[in-house]
Structure 1
Amino acid sequence: MDVDDIDRGIVTALQRDARATFAEIGAEVGLSAPAVKRRVDRLVASGAIRGFTAVVDPAALGWSTEAYVEVSYSGVVSPRRLTQDLGALPEAVSAWTVSGAPDAVLQVQTRDVRHLEEVLQRIRGLPDVTGTQTEIVLSRLFQRAAVPPV
C-alpha cells in the first residue's frame, strides 16, 4: 500500500489524539470528514493502523516500577518459544529478540521493586533460562511514536 503525506498526517493526528473526529483531522490535513474516514478505513484494512487505544500512565494505576530484563536461555531458543514463555507474564509490556548475548529483552512494569523481584524469580524459573540482567528505569526522558510526525 502506498502511503502519502496526507496519510502520514492522518496517522500523526490519530497518534496525538485517537478520539479526534474525522472533521477535526480533515481540517488539519485539508480533507473533508468523509474523505478522512475513507483513508482511515483503508489504513486499517491494509494493516498500517492496527488499532486504537488509550494511553495509560501505569504509575497513576499503582505500577510505578519499570525495568528492562535481558533473558538468556541455554542452547538455541526460537522466537515462538520466547513469545510463549515471556508473553505469559502479565507484567510484560513488550519483548524483543536481539543481537548479542541475551536471547531476548523484556520490558516489564511492576508495582514496586519487591514485585519486580517476584517477576524476575518467575523468569529465572522458566525451563532453560540460564540468567537475567535487569536495568531499572529511573525516569523516562521522552517517548516517541513509532512513526515520526510529518
Structure 2
Amino acid sequence: MVRVKRNLDAVDIEILKILTQNCREKLESIASKVGLSAPMVRKRIETMERLGIVKKCSAKIDLEMLDGVVTKALIIRHRGVERIADDLYRNKGVEKIYVSRADDTIIAIVRAINEQEVRGLVETLQKEIPNAEIIDIDLVMEREWVPEKPGIGIIYRCNFCGGVIIGSPHVVTINGVIRTFHGKECAEAYIQKRQLRLTT
C-alpha cells in the first residue's frame, strides 16, 4: 500500500495536539479552540483518519502504574536484521522495533508482566539466534510526543483571505479595530477592498 504524506497546516496540528491530550474532546470544544466551526473540524479529522494520520481513539493506560509491569529496551546485533525483526514482531510483548541495517542492529521496546517474562524472551532469542549479541536495558524515562509547529499557541487568521497565519501576523489598527494579516500586501488589499481609513 502506497502511503501518501500530507502537509498539515497549523490548524491540523492544533487539532492533533488536542486529540493527543483527549481523543474524546467534543467537536464544539475543539472548534472553539482552533477558530473553526464544528463541521469543519469534523471534516479535517475525517480527512486525517482517511489518510491514516489519525488511527483510532483509545484509552491511555499507564502500564507503569500496574504492579510488576516491566518496560525494557533490547538491543540485538546480528546479520540479517530484517528476518530477526519479523520474528521479533510476532511476539506480543514487543511494542516497537527500530532497525539499523547499516549497523545490523535492532532496538526492540518490550513490555512484560514481570522480569521473568523478559528473561524468557531473551533466552528464546538467544536460542533462535545463537551468535546474536543481546543487551537488556531498563527503560528509565519516556515522554509522549505531541505534535508542535512554531507559533501555534494562538492561531491568527488573515482578515483579508481568512487563511491561518503561520508565525507572526502583520497587525494593523483599522477604525479602532485590531486586524491581523499574512503581510503588508494582504493588509493593503483589505483596506482597498473595504475602502477603510487607516488609523494608528
TM-score band, normalised by the shorter chain? 0.7 to 0.9
Which residue of 1 is the match for residue 93 of structure 2? 91
Query: Equivalent residue for 2:117?
Result: 115
Matching of residue 42 in structure 1 with residue 44 in structure 2: no
Give the letter aligned to residue 36 of structure 2: L
TM-score, normalising length from structure 1? 0.83
Per the TM alignment, residue 68 of structure 1 is displaced from its structure 2 partner at its CA by 0.5
| Unaligned 5+ runs, structure 1 | none
The amino acid that maps onto 1:39 is R
Aligned pair in 2 of structure 1 residues 6, 147: CA closer, same or farther (>3 Å)? same
- Structure 1 counterpart of 2:31, from 2, 17, 26: 26
Q: Does 1:76 align with 2:77?
A: no
Provide the rounded CA distance (Å) in 1 between the counterparts of 2:32 and 2:148.
20
Task: Rate the CA distance shift 1:86–1:63 in 2: closer, same or farther, 3 A.
Answer: farther
Deviation (angstroms), 1:76: 3.1
Greater Rg over alpha carbons, structure: 2
5+ residue gaps, structure 2, are 1-5, 153-200
1:143 corresponds to: 143
SS, match of residue 125 in structure 1: helix
SS of residue paired to 2:128: coil
Q: Kindly report structure 1 stretches of 4+ aligned residues shifted beyond 4 Å.
A: 99-102
The whole-number CA distance in structure 2 between the counterparts of 1:101 and 1:2 is 32
> Which whole-Å CA distance do the structure 1 matches of 2:111 and 2:80 have between them?
27
Using structure 2 for the length normalisation, give the TM-score.
0.64
Determine if the alignment matches structure 1 residue 56 to structure 2 residue 61. yes
Corresponding pairs, count = 145
Name whichever of 124-133 and 13-22 sits farther off: 124-133
Q: Distance in 2 between matches of 1:136 and 1:102?
A: 21
Q: For 1:33 and 1:76, how far apart are their aligned partners in 2?
A: 50
Q: Is the 8 A contact 1:85 1:126 kept in 2?
A: no
Give the counterpart letter for 2:133 in structure 1. G
Q: In the alignment, which of 102, 105, 112 is matched to residue 103 of structure 1?
A: 105
Q: Look up the match of 1:14.
A: 19
